[in-house]
Amino acid sequence: MPSLNGISCGIYTHDGRLDEYAQSEIRGGLCCYVPARSGQQFWLTYRIEKPIRAKAMSIEFWVDGNRIDTQFPLASPSADPPSVGPIASTINSQYSKDERGTPHRRDIFFMLEEERVKQWPYWLLKGSAQNSDKMGTIECKVYRAEKTGVWEGTVSPEAIPATSAKKSMRSKGVSHRARLGAPMLAAKTTRYTFRNLDDENTPFAYFKFYYRSYKFLQINHIIYAHSDLARPVSPSDAYRMPAAAEVPKSLSRKLSRRRSESGLKKERSHSVPALSVDLGTPFPFISDEKKRADTPIATSNILRKTSQSVLDLHASISHLEAEFANFRMGMDNSDMLQSCYEKLGRLKRAAEKIRYKDDYGRRYSLPIAENPREEESAMESEASSPTTGPVPLTLPSITVKLDKGKGRATE
């Protein structure tokens, strides 16, 4: 709703206040566009937001260059100094009173004269000299005034004549005009004579509304098909940032952890026993895997500990190979020695198969066979007939120790 000098006003229908578009400043006031629909009754609603120092205010309602009616809100008797407001009121009809003192009112409606829609440059449509014609306009003029008396005579308002300015309407893209309804009996009101304190050409506040069809406003890009793209019109809306799209809130860390763990349980139907050697370190990422959350921090920690475990395993294997080389000559049981070498080979090949998976957010673990029973049978066949090919990684717990005193390896 346009607002100036503590006064705001708008055009209302039974559907609510008409949206204002392309508000701009003109000499002495504000102007904007409002959409008009044929057959709709409309009226003016104004608000004085804060007290204005004056004995009275004169609020004039004009349509197509014709004055419809005027209201005179008076200052509060208890106000010192005299001031008007805050108040809110409506001018919804044209008031008249005949010689017998019978009051009548006539409501105002939009009427579709003829569909004339023309596209004009936007800067020629905003209160410039091109729009000096009064057709297709609704005006509100506010003056500071003082009461001079009470009017007891007849009230003969100005009628809204049928338009004959077809060419002017065509040039301005005006397809609607205002018309008065049938006279109806009205409640008696007190009419005053007054004197304006502000000059007629410089009102205290001035509002001008250009009413046009929706089609005209859309063709000239004053209003868009999507209401969110419409240009801001009120002072508060002019500096309002567009509302951000609603971004769904991220799940809590606790909830993410629960979901991740439930997904991991489905993927891992069986566990892998930890491998250990005397001079090495157990694999923490295997034994504690179920206790870890599927988060980037946990992933980086797992990768770091995995790499350290692989290095420790390689060091342990190298140390065991050196120990076996020292005691090789003193061992009598060649079968036991061969068995130890085979187990060292398995550990070495298992260490080489530990790799970092480059899929972000997934677990880092030893690859396991889809069928545990096939894995165990493969292990048994390999124990009976050693081969040099790839060895499955699901191994029983193996502890390789060297007994220097007896010169043999135990499993």
CA-based nearest residue to 210, from 199, 201, 198, 223: 223
**Token pair for residue 396?**
């029983």
Task: Write the CB contacts of 286 (distance below 8 Å, at least 6 apart in sequence).
Answer: 272, 274, 365, 366
User: Is residue 260 predicted with pLDDT exceeding 50?
Assistant: no
Give the burial string for 352-366 (b: 16+ CB within 10 Å, else e).
eebeeeeeeeebbbb
Helices (runs of H) and strands (runs of E) counted in the chain: 8, 18
Instruction: Give the pLDDT confidence of 377-404 residue by residue, as tens digits.
Output: 555 554 454 444 444 444 444 444 444 4
The count of other CB atoms within 10 Å of the CB of residue 408 is: 16
Do the Cβ atoms of 108 and 180 come closer than 8 Å? yes
pTM here is: 0.51
Q: If DSSP codes are grouped into helix, strand and coil, which group holds residue 404?
A: coil
CA-based nearest residue to 26, from 118, 169, 132: 132
**Which amino acid would we find at residue 75?**
A
**Token pair for residue 65?**
């260059």
- Report the chain's mean pLDDT, rounded to a whole number: 68
Characterise 68 by phi-psi region: left (phi > 0), alpha (psi -120 to 50), beta (else).
Answer: alpha
CA angle 319, 324, 326 (to 5 degrees): 100
**For residue 250, what pLDDT band results from cuts at 50, 70 and 90?**
very low
**Token pair for residue 44?**
């003016």
Q: Where are the alpha helices (DSSP H) in 292-333?
A: 296-327
Instruction: Give the pLDDT confidence of 26-72 residue by residue, as tens digits.
Output: 888 999 999 988 888 999 999 999 999 999 999 999 988 888 899 99
**Token pair for residue 11?**
């055009």
The count of other CB atoms within 10 Å of the CB of residue 384 is: 6
